[in-house]
Amino acid sequence: MLFRSLILAVSRWRPIRSMVTRSRIFRPLVSRFVAGESLDSAIASAEALAAEGLFSTLDLLGENVATVEEAAQAREAYIEVVNRIAKSPHRDLINISIKLTALGLDQGEDVAEANFKQLLAAAQPHNIFVRADMEASEYTERTVAMIERVHAEYPNTGTVMQSYLKRLDGDLTRLLALPTRVRIVKGAYLEPETVAYQDKAVVDQKYVEAAQRLLKAGHYPAIATHDEAIIQSLRGFIKKEGIAKESFEWQMLYGIRRDLQSSLRAEGFNVRVYIPYGEQWYPYFTRRLAERPANLIFIAKATFRK
C-alpha cells in the first residue's frame, strides 16, 4: 500500500507529469498500453484484434469532468464511437467502456443518467453493449444504483465489481437480480481499510469466490485478470462445473500478456481486450503502474514480450 501511495503521489507532481507526457523516451512504453490518442487508432487496434478472433472494448480515457458542458461533449464523443463501431465489419466483436464521471456524475446523478441514457439509446439499435466502469469507492453505490435504474429500459449495459471492496457480496446480489453482465476485477484505486481489504491474499480469494459465483449464475460475465494462478484455478472450476466456454469471457488489458490472450483464444475461450485511447491517458497509465508493486517489473517485462 505504501508503494502504491508513493507512485500515485509522485505521479501528481507537475514536473513528473510533464516529463512523462512530453518526453519521447516514454512514448514506446505508453504506446504499448494506450492505443493512441484518436478514435481512428482505437478502431484500427480493435479491427486488428478482431482479425485474430479477439473481442475488444473501447474506452475513451477521461473522467471527472468539471462542467455539464464537458459531460455533454463526452456523451457526443461516445455516440461517435457507437457510430464508428456500427460501420465496422467486426462490429459484433467490439463494445464500449465508459466512466460515469465522464458523463457528469459529479455534476449530479440526473445529469449523468440523462447522458448515459442517450448513449445507451444510440447503442441499442446496433446491439452494442456499453459497460459503466467502476471508479473509486465514493462512486460505487451511485454506479450500482444507476445500473439498477436504467437496465430495464436499456439491457445493453452492465458494470464492474472490485474484489477488494468489502461491499462486494451485497452488490453482486443486487446486480445478479437484474440480471446484468458483470466484470470482476481486483481494483486499482487507493482505498482505506474501512472500505477495502488491504491484504493481497484476501483480495485474491474474494476475486476467485466472486468469479465462481458469476460463472455459475451465467449472464455472460467478464473475468478480467492477468493472474495466471487465478486463471488456472478458475479453469479447473469451469471444467469441474461443466461451464461452457462461450458462456463468459476473459478480459485483459491492451498490451499486456498478448501471449496469454492468444493462447486462451486458441483453446476456444472468448477473450476481450480493453483498449484505452485518447489524450487523457496519463491517469490511466499511472494507475496501472501503482495497482500492484509488481506491475513496474511486470510492465517492463511486457514491453519486450510478444
> Mean pLDDT lowest for which of 157-171, 249-263, 280-294?
280-294
The answer to whether the bond into 283 is cis (omega within 30° of 0) is no
The confidence score (pLDDT) of residue 112 equals 98
Under the banding of pLDDT at 50, 70 and 90, the label for residue 295 is very low
The confidence score (pLDDT) of residue 11 equals 46
- Percent of the chain past pLDDT 90, that is, above it, reads 75
The confidence score (pLDDT) of residue 29 equals 57
Tens-place pLDDT, residues 184-229: 999 988 899 999 999 999 999 999 999 999 999 999 999 999 999 9
Under the banding of pLDDT at 50, 70 and 90, the label for residue 31 is low
Q: Which domains does the chain have, with CATH numbers?
A: 35-280 (3.20.20.220)
The confidence score (pLDDT) of residue 63 equals 86
The confidence score (pLDDT) of residue 30 equals 58
The confidence score (pLDDT) of residue 33 equals 77
Is the backbone of residue 164 left (phi > 0), alpha (psi -120 to 50) or beta? Answer: alpha
> Does the pLDDT value for residue 23 go beyond 80?
no
The confidence score (pLDDT) of residue 36 equals 82
Which residues does the annotation mark as catalytic?
133, 183
The confidence score (pLDDT) of residue 268 equals 97
Residues 75, 113: Cα–Cα separation, whole Å: 11
- Which one is predicted more confidently, 61 or 244? 244
> Does the pLDDT value for residue 41 go beyond 90?
yes
The confidence score (pLDDT) of residue 296 equals 53
> Mean pLDDT lowest for which of 93-97, 159-163, 167-171, 298-302?
298-302
The pTM (predicted TM-score) of the whole model is 0.86
> Does the pLDDT value for residue 287 go beyond 80?
no
27-45: average pLDDT: 80
When the pLDDT of each residue in the chain is averaged and rounded to a whole number, the result is 88
Is the backbone of residue 104 left (phi > 0), alpha (psi -120 to 50) or beta? Answer: left
Alpha helix positions (H), the chain: 2-11, 14-22, 27-33, 39-51, 68-87, 109-123, 140-150, 168-176, 200-217, 228-241, 258-266, 282-290, 295-303
Neighbours of 114 (CB within 10 A): 17
Kindly tell me the sign of the dihedral angle through the C-alpha atoms of 131, 185, 238, 262: positive
The confidence score (pLDDT) of residue 9 equals 47
